Amino acid sequence: MSELEGKVTLITGGASGIGESAARLFVAEGAKVVIADMQRERGLALAEELGPAAVFSEVEVRQEAEVKAAVDLAVDTWGRLDCMFNNAGFGGVLGPIEEIPADDFDLTMDVLVRGVFLGMKHAVPVMKKQGGGSVINTGSIAGVTAGRGPIIYSAAKAAVVHLSKVTAMELGEHFIRVNCLCPGYIATPLSANTVGRPDELIEKAYHTYAVRQPIPRTGMPDDIAQMAMFLASDRSSFVTGQAIVVDGGAATGVMWSDQKDVYKSYHPIKVYNPDAG
């Protein structure tokens, strides 16, 4: 039996990157999927490619009516909603703190935090009524450690991490699990700054993209999709309130290969011997 047989999932940001990879994997594993995205042409094409197991809903995640419409579409089409994957995002405003316009701060927080809030707000009543479900929110290693992304993006992702935890504490009694996926450096249109541009530009952008991490390869969208599938499946029925980092070890610490030359310069440590006088 497939991992997600009979389950219905809504994926925001589902037309490209991590969302697209998750949509493909979830359908392959037996799920029905609502692909929710601003990229109408790409989303429609993906839904058509995936066949009757997928439908597209044009959604800008700051807009409550559009988020609700996507949830309603899942229920109207398949009668339920088992997994809400709040994945849509962008890099947000850049720059030093003293130069960031307040309006751009608001936009960044609206997309990255309000969008997650709205997804949960409208998915949870459906899940309560049917007796359970799984909510997956996309965070980032930038939300669990400092210096891994733009400052406002990082603060927003930290808010997503904690929002996931406190909501998990509220919803556990309803058998609704809430977890946060924290990707590391993943080859997506967002991280390669190629959103809305041809996919081959991602590979080109990553040709010289190097990250110091224990597992020496670029993370791929499927790495995140596989963990999302686990969280959407019944295999994770006892997992909630977690920030699950999938990053090749990037956020764990400083690699030994970056430390060993420093330690070579240290003098040997003399062990204290009380009998030495």
Give 20-48 pLDDT, tens digit per residue: 999 999 999 999 999 999 999 999 999 99
Q: Would you give the end-to-end CA distance of the chain in angstroms? A: 72
Per CATH, the number for 8-276 is 3.40.50.720
> Where in the chain are the domains?
8-276
Residues 244/231, Cβ–Cβ less than 8 Å: yes
Residues 261/165, Cβ–Cβ less than 8 Å: no
The whole-angstrom separation of Cα 84 and Cα 81 is 7
- The predicted pLDDT at position 249 comes to 92
Dihedral over alpha carbons 157, 163, 168, 171 (to 10 degrees): -140
Helical (H) or strand (E) element with 116: helix 115-130
The whole-angstrom separation of Cα 140 and Cα 191 is 12
Give which of 78, 72, 71, 75 is closest to 52, Cα–Cα. Answer: 78
- The predicted pLDDT at position 144 comes to 96
- The predicted pLDDT at position 202 comes to 56
> What is the set of active-site residues?
140, 153, 157
- The predicted pLDDT at position 200 comes to 62
- The predicted pLDDT at position 173 comes to 98
- The predicted pLDDT at position 272 comes to 63
What tokens were used for 228? 């999302």
- The predicted pLDDT at position 217 comes to 86
In this prediction, the residues of the chain whose per-residue pLDDT falls under 50 are: 194-195, 208
Residues 56/30, Cβ–Cβ less than 8 Å: no
